[in-house]
Structure 1
């Protein structure tokens, strides 16, 4: 992939629309939506349930494709890349914290965190994975499988996995939604430490007003459009 003359934006969405066909006809989730996220920015996406925030995150991350329009990550237009190239781009630059965790059930907590480190060619993936699990308070649970962990513990594994690769871009969908107040506060501090110390671009979906207020910018998704808060 050509990385020459990269865009100053980490994310650029240009006139994206997303339609769904249902038995009742075509539903437009959003139309002609535009968003520019500079490198190193922290952005909170807020809005009511059902507004399409998680779908927007999937489009911005290249996990889904818009019905119309274009999304670029670090200057690379997703529609110009094939599936393998999009996967390579995500593997090299992007991490995710999903609401539903997306842990591999056949792998232990340690192996779930270690796998992306191995894919990126880390020199000591096991040591790094253990360090990040300790950072999120799961140093004693490394050999447990997702089915043996509570929802909050699974979310902490997902957070450790996302942090471990020190991504250029981190998408997080309600990253503290299943955590107690103390653990959630610690995770928030780590999120913004990544942003400030490593220049990681953060795009967060959240209903937490305190977390949204920590971001440099807030946008609200309502009636298919984004408005600055």
Structure 2
């Protein structure tokens, strides 16, 4: 984990715009968007379906580039980096949890978590993978493949994989979207508990206002702008 002070800005969007070509005119998704996030904060980004929340996540994580403006990760502009350097910065600072789990079906739960660590050349990848699967309650499911796991269990594997790399910044995109209400509640409790233990900066993309209220801050994406709301 790359440790940051709580008063340090970990992520900043400055005058960000994003548009797409659409026949005779362009489609403007964002314009003059600004956001500052300090290390250790929990932030929810909410908005209606189609508002562009997942696109915004891609921009903030350096998976996509803004049409104008810049995204700064720990003070460095992602737009000024080449693809390899951006990928290196993501590997150093960022992890993801997605609605659809994104597990490799041909790998066991253990191998899915271990792979994330082996990519970073962590010497104790196997030990750490086992530790984190135990942390999420899957000590007896390590050798199971994703198809042999329930949706909740697959999301627990994804959580273990995300935290195993000890990220400074964690993006969670609708993490309970494919789960029933009871399972989703259990997953969220586990996510917030682990996040507090690890002092990770959490950016949660959701349409669920109750879930957003669990975060220290909440911003609503509407008509291409972010509006800070009370939690």
> Counterparts of 2:157 and 2:41 in 1: how far apart (Å)?
25
2:132·2:163 contact (CA, 8 Å) conserved in 1?
yes
2:141 match: secondary structure = coil
Say what the alpha-carbon RMSD is for the aligned residues.
2.0
Q: For residue 24 of structure 1, report the CA deviation from its aligned partner.
A: 6.2
Within-5 A mapping of 1:134-153: 134-153=134-153
Within-5 A mapping of 1:1-229: 8-23=8-23, 25-229=25-229
1:136·1:187 contact (CA, 8 Å) conserved in 2?
no
Q: For residue 149 of structure 1, report the CA deviation from its aligned partner.
A: 3.4
2:58 match: secondary structure = helix
Q: For residue 53 of structure 1, report the CA deviation from its aligned partner.
A: 0.3
Q: For residue 45 of structure 1, report the CA deviation from its aligned partner.
A: 0.3
> Counterparts of 1:207 and 1:36 in 2: how far apart (Å)?
21
Post-superposition CA distance 1:92-144 (Å, at most 9, x none): 11100012222223322211111122233434222221232233333333223
1:166·1:194 contact (CA, 8 Å) conserved in 2?
no
Unaligned runs of 5+ in 1: 1-6
2:152·2:187 contact (CA, 8 Å) conserved in 1?
no
Give the corresponding residue for 1:4: none
Structure 1 pair 141–22 and aligned structure 2 pair: CA distance change class (3 A): farther
1:189 match: secondary structure = helix
Structure 1 pair 140–23 and aligned structure 2 pair: CA distance change class (3 A): farther
Post-superposition CA distance 1:153-209 (Å, at most 9, x none): 332221211121221000000112233445433432333334433321110011222
Equivalent pairs, count: 223
TM score, norm. by length of structure 1: 0.88
Unaligned runs of 5+ in 2: 1-6
Q: For residue 214 of structure 1, report the CA deviation from its aligned partner.
A: 1.3
1:41·1:195 contact (CA, 8 Å) conserved in 2?
no
